[in-house]
Amino acid sequence: MKKVAVIHTAFEKTPRTVAFVEVEDNVTVDDALEYAYRWTQNIMDSWSKKGPCDGNEFVTVVGDMSDGYGLRSTSVGDQILVGTKKYTVAPFGFEEMVT
């Protein structure tokens, strides 16, 4: 298993890593991005509070939840790090960031 980092930047003053998502070693980059995106969404309940619908045992929450609320969904403008390449969540799919 390899870890993918989810970084919320879209509505933040500074970027902050909110989760590490474990994916199989042999999945494609696109599949890893889609998986990380899906499992950091609040669709039926809370992904970060490990609700029965949106919680996932392969997601490690590292974001600050000290206010008692769960974390927001990953949105357009947020970033996902796969290996050494970073991707931005685009309106449709993902775009590799060039440094």
At 4-63, the pLDDT tens digits run 999 999 998 999 999 999 999 999 999 999 999 999 999 999 999 999 999 999 999 998
Q: What is the mean pLDDT of residues 75-95?
A: 97
Reply yes or no on whether the pLDDT at 99 is more than 90.
no
Q: What is the pTM of this model?
A: 0.94
Structural domain boundaries in the chain:
2-96
Contact by Cβ (8 Å): 79, 15:
yes
Reply yes or no on whether the pLDDT at 2 is more than 80.
yes
Beta strand extents in 1-99 (DSSP E only): 2-8, 16-23, 59-61, 79-82, 85-89, 94-96
Residues 6+ apart with CB under 8 A from 21: 3, 4, 5, 6, 32, 35, 36, 39, 40, 56, 58, 59, 60
